[in-house]
Structure 1
């Protein structure tokens, strides 16, 4: 018997990407116990998932991907691939040891809104999964503290950081608004908050060039990001 959750489908389709077999099986079991959720694919790497999805029908594709970032015996999860999934309307929940803060930052820029650690409780993992399905943000306090650990780095929200990176990469306000799915005036508010927060930590920024410089300094983007976005 299936259940309707908050006006959603009869059941939510879930894919799991995890290269450690015991962790993958446990995640399958955890998800499978939740009314309204069904595991439709479980595999070791994101590349395997993408290959399977290429031959699937829209009715078989997952609504959400539970994704480990770091793979011991293959390529780590590619933020560009994750961004394509997000832009297609798929939700992504990162379930990872969060060993690489730069990779986590790249996933935030890719549009992932849910991050939960492997040391978190199973209750938190389930709560994070439902939050992502309902298009809400979820980030563990441990990861948030790591991301904001530098006193000289302003504490930006996910949307502020994404607006900063997109705008500093060379996009117009209108293009950033489209990418974020918000109004142009909202993007301007995000960027004004970014400038204020940088000023508050003694790093004033006024122009797009200033924003680009500070974003590179903080590891939010690289110099190559601008070149790639111009292609």
Structure 2
């Protein structure tokens, strides 16, 4: 993660400045977040825009982006998160949290956590700092939404590793060498992955479909 090299005196957190952006189509939210971060020199508020496209057009180098999951431009959660993550920024959902399907979609797309807009300012500050340190903000509410997702395939950590490598274009032999296992073990994992996706009615019969599922679930970044 890219951070500014300026030192922060008196901070209990890593002595760097993390750059924060916001995507929310309510201007008052941006004003509030800007005012909040102004008193915390380890967090620099860089930009607020109503859409992801507008934020990216500004070319700012950001460490974390607060993203409202429901935007007026009709953009999809997966598309927005994928585009932001391709820049190297982490994404923290900043939402009312009342739409479980949106929260699940965000989790599959690879967000680092979720903060309700109704939370107090200290909770938001701590969440930003956790994410800027490379940590996940796993609230009970977010975890419950993800765990109850009927479309989640329930892949094991090893299956996710295999899916990431294989769906990105590696051949089974190459995946086996990278993971230090046999080719037969890799093929067995792939079969199990296909079975798990079929069980949640998200079939992945081909390698292209495996790639699509990997992107949908945040295992791989989406296309540029």
TM-score interval, smaller chain? 0.5 to 0.7
Q: Is the 8 A contact 1:69 1:76 kept in 2?
A: no
Q: Is the 8 A contact 2:198 2:204 kept in 1?
A: no
Cα distance change of structure 1 residues 3 and 172 upon mapping to structure 2, 3 Å threshold: closer
**Superposed CA offset, 1:42-68 (max 9, x none):** 111112112222xxxxxx412211111
CA RMSD of aligned residues (A): 4.2
Mapped to 1, the partners of 2:113 and 2:141 lie a distance apart of 14
- Deviation at residue 161 of structure 1 after TM alignment: 11
Mapped to 2, the partners of 1:108 and 1:142 lie a distance apart of 12
- Residue 83 of structure 1 aligns to a residue in which SS? helix
**Superposed CA offset, 1:29-51 (max 9, x none):** 12222122111111111121122
Aligned match of 1:163: 160
Aligned match of 1:50: 56
TM-score by length of 2: 0.66
Q: Which segments of 5 or more consecutive residues in structure 1 lack a partner in the other structure?
A: 54-59, 176-182, 196-205
**Superposed CA offset, 1:74-124 (max 9, x none):** 224542342243244212111111233333233223321121111222211
Mapped to 2, the partners of 1:146 and 1:7 lie a distance apart of 31
Aligned match of 1:29: 35
Mapped to 2, the partners of 1:77 and 1:31 lie a distance apart of 28
Give the number of aligned pairs. 194
Aligned match of 2:174: none
The 5-angstrom pairing of residues 1-231 of structure 1 reads 3=8, 6-7=13-14, 9=16, 11-53=17-59, 60-71=60-71, 73-149=72-148, 160=157, 163=160, 167=163, 171=167, 184=179, 207-216=192-201, 226=209, 229=212
Aligned match of 1:178: none
- Residue 30 of structure 2 aligns to a residue in which SS? helix
Q: Which segments of 5 or more consecutive residues in structure 2 lack a partner in the other structure?
A: 1-5, 172-177, 214-222
- Deviation at residue 184 of structure 1 after TM alignment: 3.5
- Deviation at residue 167 of structure 1 after TM alignment: 3.0
Cα distance change of structure 1 residues 14 and 215 upon mapping to structure 2, 3 Å threshold: same
Dislocated runs of 4+, deviation >6 Å: 152-155, 172-175
TM-score by length of 1: 0.64
- Residue 37 of structure 2 aligns to a residue in which SS? helix
Cα distance change of structure 1 residues 39 and 222 upon mapping to structure 2, 3 Å threshold: farther
Mapped to 2, the partners of 1:162 and 1:106 lie a distance apart of 20
- Deviation at residue 227 of structure 1 after TM alignment: 7.4
